[in-house]
């Protein structure tokens, strides 16, 4: 393939992306394909002879497009947003095109230094505590990880190493494996699945803490669990608090939890994967009160801050703990400039993360932050919240429904009043239509639906359209059961008559 061909076809790809995004509203949000559809369309082996653009490009529309779920459609209202914006896509293209792998400073100084700078930018935009900034005098700093899950695992492994290093000198006769086997991690039953997965992968015993009725971590239970575990010879090591839980967007009380962690010498990680983006607006910062207690923090610009996947920011209060846990050296990895780097605070990010190779992800974050600017990032979040409020008011005004959690950002949790099966059926009717995507969740055994504001282009008319689909689907569920309940009444009457007859004949 030569450069001129690429020039021509890459421009076509840009046109394709623009047309796709501008017309996404007209596409059915969920695909109609059956599992295995692609096996029937694509050969089971790679081609022996090279193929040409002219045969490949039409296959995108023929084979791939029908199997897409349109995450950026205004009718996609499940999970949380998949960040996306033109400035970010532009950065992503540059990152692929420049193609550097920046795990050591000298392997692309721009890649490392831009990441240090934009992580400080973002920390300041969000009003994070100073100690997370690289430019602050302390030992803090930030890095872009591939996902929130990776950030949580990195935090866990760091906490594990710190605890082992604290315990070993106190008990020189106990071997490291014995110490590691006694470590315990704590998190609420409403924390993301990624937290439990991190503990699974990191081989740390878990102690899920029952949440309060509103889905927040019960601080007194955390305290009791830590005390109890110590009495039983275990070693409390790691606590995860969530700002914006996945099910209901609940906010754990960092002031209470943080003071417990501080008193107990336990690492506090704060998971703000979704809700962290809201802190660019000063009016939401009350939700992160107590963040100064956190040893580490993750938030995903690839969720709600207009940056496309993957871009998950991770900050640590004291990077020395991270380096202790993650540094493995080889001669071939040694950086010629290490001495100057140490003086000038230029990290070798390979010692801050799980992979060795790393992409130039800072570009898309940098370009996105510049092209929106603080003012438009704030406008974006505020507009999205106002749409959640619109949907909330629809629910509140309709006696068939009830809210299941307060709406504070872009998520509305609701259910049909009455038996659970009604809400489950509502979801299945909506999904069968493939016109709107929602998902279900539970809090303390109560099942509900999540309506999240996701697409960056969503406006009030989309909310109204979604509401109409939900409202009609609810009508359909009710009428289905209206017939059924008449049948049930008839059956019951017959049963009574039979019992009566049986009674008489006895
Ligand atoms: C989405 C989410 C995660 C996982 O983030 P990934 O980047 O998908 O790994 C973790 N915690 C919370 C609260 C989330 O909403």
pLDDT, position 342? 58
302 CA to centre of ligand 1 in angstroms: 10
Q: In 3D, which of 342, 273, 337 has the Cα closest to residue 304?
A: 273
Each residue's pLDDT tens digit, 16-59: 999 999 999 999 999 999 999 999 999 999 999 999 988 999 99
pLDDT computed for residue 503 by the predictor: 46
Say if residue 145's pLDDT is above 90: yes
Centre of ligand 1 to C-alpha 152, Å, is 9
Ligand 1 geometric centre to CA of 491 (Å): 48
* pLDDT > 90 in the chain, percent: 85
Buried/exposed 193-215: b ≥16 CB within 10 Å, e otherwise: ebbbebbeebebeebbbebbeeb
Q: Can you give the pLDDT at residue 489? A: 52
Beta carbons within 8 Å of 493's beta carbon, 6+ residues apart: none
Listed in sequence order, the residues at least 6 apart from 231 whose beta carbon sits closer than 8 Å to its beta carbon are: none
Residue 271 has φ and ψ, to the nearest 5°, of -100, 105
Which pLDDT value is given to residue 430? 97
Instruction: Please state the atom number of ligand 1 nearest to the C-alpha of residue 149.
Output: 9
Q: Which atom of ligand 1 is nearest to the CA of 245?
A: 13
- Dihedral sign of CA atoms 118, 124, 130, 132 in order: negative
Instruction: Give ligand 1 pocket residues (Cβ under 6 A).
Output: 80, 147-149, 192, 194, 242, 244, 246, 271, 273-274, 300, 312
The span from the CA of 292 to the CA of 376, in Å, is 27
User: Which residue shows structure tokens 């909506």?
Assistant: 430
User: Which residue's CA is the closest to the ligand 1 atom numbered 6?
Assistant: 148
User: Domains along the chain?
Assistant: 3-68 (1.20.1340.10), 100-359 (3.40.640.10), 384-488 (3.90.1150.10)
Query: Token pair of 67, please?
Result: 């199997």
Q: Does pLDDT of 493 surpass 80?
A: no
Neighbours of 422 (CB within 10 A): 18
370 has a pLDDT exceeding 90: yes
Residue of 80, 303, 353, 452 to test ligand 1 pocket, by largest number of atoms within 8 Å of CB: 303
Q: Among 79, 194, 249, 298, which is best to mutate for testing ligand 1, by the most ligand atoms less than 8 A from CB?
A: 194
Residue owning the nearest CA to atom 1 of ligand 1: 273
Phi, psi of 241 (to 5 degrees): -110, 145
Mean pLDDT of 118-145: 96
What average pLDDT does this structure show over 362-374?
98
Of 98-102, 194-198, 265-269, 497-501, give the lowest mean pLDDT range. Answer: 497-501
Find the mean pLDDT for residues 338-359. Answer: 79
Burial track 102-114 (b if 16+ CB lie within 10 A, e otherwise):
bbbbebbeebbbb
For 381-406, write each residue's pLDDT tens digit: 999 999 999 999 999 999 999 999 99
How far, in Å, is the centroid of ligand 1 from the Cα of 371?
A: 26
343 CA to centre of ligand 1 in angstroms: 35
Is the model more confident about 332 or about 197? 197
Query: Given a cut of 90, is residue 237 above it in pLDDT?
Result: yes
Q: What is the mean pLDDT of residues 168-195?
A: 94
Count of C-beta atoms within a 10 Å radius of residue 129? 18
CA nearest neighbour of 388 among 349, 414, 370, 357: 414
Instruction: Identify each DSSP E strand in 101-204 by its residue range.
Output: 141-145, 183-188
SS3 of 196-225 = HHHHHHCCCEEEEECECCCCCECHHHHHHH
For the cut 80, the answer to whether the pLDDT of residue 1 exceeds it is no
What's the pLDDT score for residue 331? 80
3-state secondary structure of 237: strand
Alpha-carbon distance of 321 to 237, in angstroms, equals 13
What is the pLDDT at residue 337?
67
Residue of the CA atom closest to atom 4 of ligand 1: 148
CA separation (Å) from 191 to 286, 308, 381, 441?
A: 20, 24, 23, 13
pLDDT at 328: 85
- Residue 303 Cα: closest atom of ligand 1: 1
Cα–Cα dist 220/217, whole Å: 9
Q: What pLDDT shows up at residue 332? A: 79
Query: How would you list the strands of the sheet with 141-145, edge to edge?
Result: 141-145, 312-316, 296-299, 267-271, 235-242, 183-188, 205-209
Query: How, if at all, do strands 446-452 and 439-443 pair?
Result: antiparallel
Going by pLDDT thresholds of 50, 70 and 90, the confidence category of residue 330 is confident
pLDDT tens by residue, 291-303: 999 999 999 999 9
322 CA distance to ligand 1 centroid (A)?
21
Compute φ and ψ for 209, nearest 5 degrees: -110, 135
Any idea which residue has 């969503």 for tokens?
458
Atom of ligand 1 nearest to the CA of 244: 13
Choice from 246, 250, 299, 452 to test ligand 1 binding pocket (greatest atom count within 8 A of CB): 246
Pocket perturbation via mutation, ligand 1, pick of 270, 271, 411 by most ligand atoms within 8 A of CB: 271
Distance from the CA of 312 to the center of ligand 1, in angstroms? 9
Determine the distance separating the centroid of ligand 1 and the alpha carbon of 192, expressed in angstroms: 6
Q: How far is the CA of 478 from the centre of ligand 1 (A)?
A: 35
Closest ligand 1 atom number to CA of residue 146: 7
Q: Are strands 312-316 and 141-145 parallel, antiparallel or unpaired?
A: antiparallel
User: Ligand 1 centre and the CA of 69: distance in Å?
Assistant: 19
* Residue 229 token pair: 């575990």
Å from CA of 355 to ligand 1 middle: 19
**How far is the CA of 361 from the CAs of 89, 101, 276, in angstroms?**
11, 10, 19
pLDDT at 107: 87
Atom of ligand 1 nearest to the CA of 192: 11
Buried b (16+ CB within 10 A) or exposed e, 454-490: bbbebeeebbeebbebbeebbeebbeebeeeeeeeee
- The model's pTM is 0.92
Closest CA to 408 of 279, 269, 312: 279
Mean pLDDT to the nearest integer, 332-346: 66
Q: If you average pLDDT over every residue of the chain, what do you get? A: 93
- In the reported structure, the alpha carbon of residue 251 is separated from the centroid of ligand 1 by a whole-number distance in angstroms of 15
How much is the pLDDT for 504? 44
Q: Identify the band that residue 305 occupies on the pLDDT scale cut at 50, 70 and 90.
A: very high
| CA–CA distance, 83 with 276 (Å, rounded to integer) | 13
Segment 93-115 shows an average pLDDT of 92
Residues 26/47, Cβ–Cβ less than 8 Å: no
Res 420: pLDDT: 96
């Amino acid at each position: 393939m030569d450069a001129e061909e690429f020039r021509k076809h890459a421009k076509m790809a840009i046109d394709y992306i623009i047309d796709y995004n501008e017309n996404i509203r007209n596409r059915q949000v969920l695909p109609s394909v059956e599992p295995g559809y692609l096996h029937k369309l694509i050969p089971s082996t790679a081609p022996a002879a090279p193929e040409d653009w002219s045969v490949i490009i039409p296959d995108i529309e023929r084979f791939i497009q029908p199997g897409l779920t349109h995450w950026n459609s205004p009718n996609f209202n499940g999970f949380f947003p998949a960040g996306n914006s033109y400035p970010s896509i532009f950065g992503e293209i540059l990152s692929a095109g420049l193609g550097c792998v920046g795990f050591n400073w000298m392997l692309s100084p721009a890649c490392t230094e831009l990441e240090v700078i934009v992580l400080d930018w973002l920390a300041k935009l969000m009003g994070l505590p100073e100690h997370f900034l690289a430019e602050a005098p302390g030992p803090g700093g930030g890095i872009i990880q591939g996902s929130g899950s990776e950030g949580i695992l990195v935090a866990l492994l760091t906490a594990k190493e710190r605890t082992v290093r604290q315990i070993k000198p106190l008990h020189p006769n106990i071997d490291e494996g014995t110490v590691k086997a006694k470590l315990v991690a704590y998190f609420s039953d409403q924390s993301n699945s990624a937290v439990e997965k991190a503990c699974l992968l990191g081989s740390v015993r878990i102690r899920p803490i029952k949440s309060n009725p509103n889905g927040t971590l019960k601080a007194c239970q955390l305290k009791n669990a830590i005390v109890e575990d110590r009495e039983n010879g275990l070693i409390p090591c790691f606590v995860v608090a969530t700002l914006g839980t996945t099910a209901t967007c609940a906010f754990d009380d960092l002031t209470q939890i943080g003071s417990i962690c501080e008193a107990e010498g336990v690492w506090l990680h704060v998971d703000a994967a979704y809700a962290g983006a809201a802190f660019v607006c000063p009016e939401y910062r009350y939700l992160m009160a107590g963040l100064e207690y956190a040893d580490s923090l993750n938030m995903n610009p690839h969720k709600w801050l207009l940056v496309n996947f993957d871009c998950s920011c991770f900050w640590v209060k004291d990077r020395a703990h991270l380096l202790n846990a993650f540094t493995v050296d080889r001669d071939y990895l040694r950086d010629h400039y290490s001495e100057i780097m140490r003086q000038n605070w230029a990290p070798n990010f390979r010692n801050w993360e799980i992979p060795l190779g790393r992409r130039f992800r800072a570009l898309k974050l940098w370009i996105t932050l510049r092209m929106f600017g603080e003012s438009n990032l704030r406008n974006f979040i505020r507009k999205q919240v106002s749409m959640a409020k619109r949907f909330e008011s629809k629910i509140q005004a309709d006696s068939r429904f009830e809210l299941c959690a307060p709406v504070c950002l872009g998520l509305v949790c609701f259910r049909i009043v009455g038996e659970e099966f009604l809400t489950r059926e509502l979801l299945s009717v909506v999904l069968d239509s493939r016109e709107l995507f929602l998902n279900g969740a539970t809090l303390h055994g109560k099942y509900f639906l999540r309506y999240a504001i996701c697409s960056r282009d969503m406006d009030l008319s989309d909310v109204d359209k979604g509401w109409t689909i939900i409202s009609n689907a609810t009508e359909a569920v009710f009428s289905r059961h209206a017939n059924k309940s008449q049948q049930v009444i008839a059956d019951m009457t017959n049963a009574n008559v039979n019992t009566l007859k049986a009674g008489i004949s006895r």
